[in-house]
């Protein structure tokens, strides 16, 4: 009897142990499933958040760029004084002069606002020149191929290996320093990457059925390039143009800082150069050298962000196989 | 009045060092108005290359194309302009036949502008073209991506017809379409040929299609053209 009771108790304990183990196993499995779901959910959320942030950055870039553009187009609205008006030199920031005055008594905030126009003009004008040259060379090279392609791409390779900044310094030293020289030099020496991108896209488009049909129908090469190829290059040109603008602005600031800019047209780079050479750094006048530096950084960053945004869109379109529109 | 290919050869990569790849050699045939010459053969044998050479889009390595008795290579500018309009080519992929960024109306009117057609005449001819190809006027306002493969292939043919061609090279015109649309396009091609007396060079993999359309038949294989049915 006693033995039977003991056996029953033992088997009940064994059963409950097995049940307990199964339950524990189920709980562990359930927990693992939940963790998996949680992680997957969170990773997904992170990806979504990353995409959202990227778009937010592009939007931020556009907002910043619009701000600088308005500053450049309508400086009268933002500058408290004329940039050439004189006050007491080396004044610290005050209510009358929010960013103080420089060595000759010009209001630094007004100089900064008017400087936007010069810096952006140099950037955009030289980017226009380089984009136009890059477009022409890439388009002709890709469309006509053969000997012309080899000649043009050989020339592009030669320009590509020339060290730009030293050459610009030499040219800047020999030519009369003027903003137009700077625009021309920067524009003439930064078209190679645009030409290469345009050429490869042209090579792709020239094999499209609609281009072959147009050739077969007797349309001229100029008509085909202008009407069928160029509109489909626009979405690769735009990001390149923006990035060329940003790069030209940086080059302009560097050259102006080295004293190769046009001192009669005060850009942000010239402001930095003056702050360096006329006692701004020695006197620790941060309100003189920091604002133009920040403006150059933010403006270049905003333009680059817009460029990256366009590039990203182009890549997305490429993945979806969308050629135009 | 015919379009004649005489001893055409195509060698890719033939340069000073030689060693190029021969695609085909000594290919000769003749296209006649109102007749179809069917060209068949395995993939990679150069059927499309031969088509492009006949349409004047590519030059042969050797041999000549004679249009109405004159060789293509020795043509004067005015003669070549006539050849350019009279010999057309229709490509395989209808979705690629029109500029994706332009409305159909623009792509069609562009051809009429090329022919210096006045404004009112342009509208009449466009309507006539749509009637011939059996398409509604609404298609003109659409972008290529908004139309079906069959509609685009009809439009591609219609646009070619605006140039009043005498010969059309049809490079696998139905291979990208489904069977029912294939039949419609083939019947349309037949109808247009009967009405306008156009000579076709039909390139296709599909023996049934070639036999349905062709008056004579050639097989391009191992770099040689054998006329198997005349």
Q: What is the mean pLDDT of residues B138-167?
A: 93
Check B98 against A210: CB less than 8 A apart.
Answer: yes
Q: Record the tokens describing residue A275, joined without a space.
A: 């702050």
CA neighbor of B154 nearest in space, from B86, B220, B120, B104: B104
Q: What is the mean pLDDT of residues A40-62?
A: 63
Supply the pLDDT for residue A313. Answer: 67
Q: Which residue has the higher pLDDT, B51 or A15?
A: B51
Q: What is the mean pLDDT of residues A266-276?
A: 89
3-state SS record for chain B: CCEEEEEEEEEECCCCCCCCEEEEEEEEEEECCCCEEEEECCCCCCHHHHHHHHCCCCCCCEEEEEECCEEHHHCCHHHHHHHHHHEEEECCCHHHCCCCCCCHHHHHHHHHHHCCCCHHHHHHHHHHHHHHHCCCHHHHHCCHHHCCHHHHHHHHHHHHHCCCCCEEEEECCCCCCCHHHHHHHHHHHHHHHHHHCCEEEEECCCHHHHHHHCCEEEEEECCEEEEEEC
pLDDT band at A14 (very low <50, low <70, confident <90, very high): low
Residues B203 and B219: beta-carbon distance below 8 Å: no
Q: Which residue has the higher pLDDT, A50 or A199?
A: A199
Structural domains in chain A plus CATH codes:
71-320 (1.10.3720.10)
The answer, yes or no, to whether residue A44 has pLDDT greater than 70, is: no
Supply the pLDDT for residue A25. Answer: 72
- The residue in chain A having the minimum alpha-carbon distance to the alpha carbon of residue B100 is A324
CA A203, A205, A206, A207 dihedral sign is positive
Q: CB neighbours (10 Å) of residue A161?
A: 7
Q: Which CATH superfamily is domain B3-229 in?
A: P-loop containing nucleotide triphosphate hydrolases (3.40.50.300)
Q: What is the mean pLDDT of residues A273-281?
A: 88
In angstroms, rounded to a whole number, what is the distance separating the alpha carbons of residues B112 and B119? 9
Query: Long-range contacts for A155-160 (Cβ within 8 Å, ≥24 apart)?
Result: A156/A192, A156/A195, A156/A196, A159/A189, A159/A191, A159/A192, A160/A192, A160/A193
Q: Name the pairing type of β-strands B21-31 and B70-71.
A: unpaired
pLDDT band at A296 (very low <50, low <70, confident <90, very high): very high
% chain B with pLDDT above 70:
96
CA neighbor of B107 nearest in space, from B93, B118, B96: B96
Supply the pLDDT for residue A321. Answer: 45
Which phi and psi angles does B120 have, rounded to 5°? -65, -40
Supply the pLDDT for residue B12. Answer: 84
Supply the pLDDT for residue A203. Answer: 96
Q: What is the mean pLDDT of residues B58-74?
A: 90
Q: Name the pairing type of β-strands B62-67 and B216-221.
A: unpaired
B6: closest CA of chain A, how far (Å):
21
Check A212 against B84: CB less than 8 A apart.
Answer: no
Which chain A residues contact residue B100 at CB under 8 A?
A: 210, 232, 323-325
Check A325 against B100: CB less than 8 A apart.
Answer: yes
Put simply, the chain A residues between 175 and 234 with a CB less than 8 A from any chain B CB are 208-210, 212-213, 215-219, 227-228, 231-232
In angstroms, rounded to a whole number, what is the distance separating the alpha carbons of residues A228 and A221? 10
Residue B70 burial (C-beta neighbours within 10 Å; 0-12, 13-18, 19+): middle
In angstroms, rounded to a whole number, what is the distance separating the alpha carbons of residues A126 and A241? 10
E strands present in B32-118:
36-40, 62-67, 70-71, 87-90
- The residue in chain A having the minimum alpha-carbon distance to the alpha carbon of residue B104 is A210
The answer, yes or no, to whether residue A206 has pLDDT greater than 70, is: yes
Instruction: Please state, rounded to an integer, the average pLDDT across all residues of chain B.
Output: 89
User: What tens digit of pLDDT does each residue of B103-136 get?
Assistant: 999 999 999 999 888 888 899 999 999 999 999 9
Which phi and psi angles does A324 have, rounded to 5°? -145, 180
Which chain A residues contact residue B93 at CB under 8 A?
A: 209
User: What tens digit of pLDDT does each residue of B14-35 get?
Assistant: 655 556 788 899 999 999 999 9
A141: closest CA of chain B, how far (Å):
18
% chain A with pLDDT above 90:
44
Residue B216's H or E segment, with its range, is strand B216-221
- The residue in chain B having the minimum alpha-carbon distance to the alpha carbon of residue A218 is B84
Put simply, the chain B residues between 77 and 106 with a CB less than 8 A from any chain A CB are 81, 84-85, 88-89, 91-93, 96-102
Check B156 against A231: CB less than 8 A apart.
Answer: no
- For B96, the closest of A209, A218, A231 (CB atoms) is A209
Check B85 against A227: CB less than 8 A apart.
Answer: no
User: What tens digit of pLDDT does each residue of A76-135 get?
Assistant: 999 999 988 999 998 899 999 999 999 889 999 999 999 999 989 999 999 999 999 999
Supply the pLDDT for residue A46. Answer: 53
The answer, yes or no, to whether residue A241 has pLDDT greater than 60, is: yes
Check A209 against B93: CB less than 8 A apart.
Answer: yes
Check A219 against B114: CB less than 8 A apart.
Answer: yes
Supply the pLDDT for residue A185. Answer: 87
Supply the pLDDT for residue A124. Answer: 94
Which chain A residues contact residue B114 at CB under 8 A?
A: 217-219
- For B96, the closest of A208, A215, A216 (CB atoms) is A208
Check B163 against A217: CB less than 8 A apart.
Answer: yes
Check A218 against B98: CB less than 8 A apart.
Answer: no
Instruction: Please state, rounded to an integer, the average pLDDT across all residues of chain A.
Output: 84
Supply the pLDDT for residue A56. Answer: 66
Supply the pLDDT for residue A239. Answer: 87
Put simply, the chain A residues between 121 and 140 with a CB less than 8 A from any chain B CB are none
Check B156 against A213: CB less than 8 A apart.
Answer: yes
- The residue in chain A having the minimum alpha-carbon distance to the alpha carbon of residue B88 is A216
Supply the pLDDT for residue A324. Answer: 38
| ipTM tops 0.90 | no
Supply the pLDDT for residue A325. Answer: 37
CA neighbor of B52 nearest in space, from B79, B14, B12, B13: B12
Check B101 against A208: CB less than 8 A apart.
Answer: no
Check A218 against B156: CB less than 8 A apart.
Answer: no
């Amino acid at each position: 009897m006693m033995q039977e009771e003991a056996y029953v108790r033992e088997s009940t304990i064994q059963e409950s142990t097995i049940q307990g183990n199964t339950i524990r196993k189920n709980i562990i499995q359930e927990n693992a499933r939940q963790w998996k779901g949680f992680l997957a959910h969170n990773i997904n959320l992170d990806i979504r958040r990353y995409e959202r942030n990227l778009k937010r950055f592009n939007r931020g870039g556009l907002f910043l760029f619009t701000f600088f553009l308005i500053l450049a187009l309508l400086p009268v609205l933002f500058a408290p004084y004329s940039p050439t008006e004189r006050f007491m030199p080396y004044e610290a920031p005050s209510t009358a002069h929010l960013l103080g005055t420089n060595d000759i008594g010009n209001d630094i905030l007004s100089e900064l606002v008017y400087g936007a126009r010069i810096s952006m003009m140099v950037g955009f004008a030289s980017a226009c020149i380089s984009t136009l040259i890059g477009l022409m060379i890439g388009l002709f090279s890709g469309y006509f191929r053969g000997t012309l392609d080899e000649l043009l791409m050989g020339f592009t390779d030669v320009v590509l290996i020339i060290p730009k900044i030293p050459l610009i310094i030499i040219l800047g030293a020999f030519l009369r320093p003027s903003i137009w020289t700077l625009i021309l030099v920067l524009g003439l020496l930064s078209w190679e990457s645009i030409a290469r991108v345009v050429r490869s896209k042209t090579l792709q488009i020239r094999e499209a059925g609609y281009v072959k049909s147009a050739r077969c129908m007797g349309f001229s090469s100029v008509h085909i390039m202008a009407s069928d190829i160029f509109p489909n290059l626009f979405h690769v040109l735009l990001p390149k143009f923006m990035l060329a603008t940003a790069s030209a602005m940086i080059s302009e600031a560097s050259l102006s800082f080295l004293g190769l800019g046009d001192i009669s047209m005060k850009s942000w780079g010239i402001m930095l150069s003056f702050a360096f050479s006329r006692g701004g750094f020695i006197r620790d006048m941060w309100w003189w050298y920091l604002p133009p530096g920040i403006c150059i950084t933010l403006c270049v960053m905003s333009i680059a962000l817009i460029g990256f945004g366009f590039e990203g869109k182009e890549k997305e379109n490429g993945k979806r196989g969308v050629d135009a529109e | 009045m015919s379009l004649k290919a005489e001893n055409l050869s195509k060698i890719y990569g033939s340069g000073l060092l030689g060693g190029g790849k021969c695609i085909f050699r000594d290919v000769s045939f003749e296209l006649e108005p109102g007749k179809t010459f069917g060209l068949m053969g395995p993939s990679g044998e150069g059927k499309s290359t031969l088509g492009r050479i006949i349409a004047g889009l590519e030059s042969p390595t050797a041999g000549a194309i004679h249009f109405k008795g004159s060789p293509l290579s020795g043509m004067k500018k005015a003669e070549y302009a006539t050849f350019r309009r009279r010999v057309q080519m229709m490509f395989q992929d209808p979705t690629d036949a029109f500029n994706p960024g332009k409305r159909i109306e623009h792509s069609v009117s562009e051809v009429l502008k090329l022919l210096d057609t006045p404004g009112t005449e342009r509208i009449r001819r466009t309507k006539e073209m749509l009637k011939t190809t059996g398409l509604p006027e609404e298609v003109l306002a659409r972008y290529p991506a908004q139309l079906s493969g069959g509609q685009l292939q009809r439009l591609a043919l219609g646009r070619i017809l605006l140039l009043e061609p005498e010969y059309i090279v049809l490079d696998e015109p139905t291979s990208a379409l489904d069977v029912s649309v294939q039949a419609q396009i083939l019947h349309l091609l037949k109808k247009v040929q009967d009405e306008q007396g156009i000579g076709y060079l039909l390139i296709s993999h599909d023996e049934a299609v070639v036999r349905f359309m062709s008056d004579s038949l050639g097989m391009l294989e191992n770099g040689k053209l054998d006329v198997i049915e005349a």
